[in-house]
Amino acid sequence: MKRAVLYLRVSSPEQSPETQLLDLRQMAAQRGYEIVHQYVDKITGVKAKRPGLEQLMADARRHRFDVVMVWAFDRMARSVRHFLEVLDELNHLGIEFVSFRESVDTSGPLGRAMVVIVGAIAELERNLIVERVRAGMRRAKLDGRQIGRARLDVDREQVLQDRSLGMSLTQVATKHGISRASVCRIVKHSAFAPAPISSKEQLSWQ
């Protein structure tokens, strides 16, 4: 019975890898693999630092398993180049790679060729999505549309005057419909000398 490990990745701490886990466990059972460990990263795909993947590769070099299983190619690496580097090292270590979504494994030459092709297509698709987003932002800018959070329309002089008259952070923030942190920023970047922020107020908005 081959020893298999699962590598699971989701894009944020709020997401759960449960769906990936269920699919991979079912595939492992069908193939007669023994799952000996699972590695999880909760991080966006473009980030270089992946503790789970790094630990997986460290254990691979110690020959602690025979097969690496992932839910999809794009779960494994941040780019095609990185993906192929990982696969190349696994291949030299005699460790097979299996992907659930693409139904591909590297136990034979055809499987290895498919991995290269599908990996390149996946990276192309991601790059096209990024370019479409950038093009949309450029078009919105040319059309005069707001990109991102709208800038607050605040009467800064009145904010400073209210503070200089002794109004608290909360009172000024409520009056102008902004946060206490915004009030503090306005005061900090002003050349005026309004009423100082008390220690109690400082703690309350931090």
Residue numbers annotated as active site: 11
Chain-centroid distance of CA 139 in Å reads 26
Local structure of 74: helix, strand or coil:
helix
CA neighbor of 45 nearest in space, from 12, 72, 78: 78
Contact indicator for 103, 30 with CB cutoff of 8 Å: no
Burial class (CB in 10 A: 0-12, 13-18, 19+), 59: middle
The pairing of beta strand 3-10 with beta strand 67-70? parallel
CA neighbor of 172 nearest in space, from 163, 164, 181: 163
Residue 10 to residue 39: CA distance in whole angstroms: 12
- As a dihedral over the C-alpha atoms of residue 130, residue 132, residue 137, residue 143, rounded to 10 degrees, the angle is 170
What is the side-by-side order of every strand in the sheet holding 67-70?
Answer: 34-42, 3-10, 67-70, 96-99, 104-105
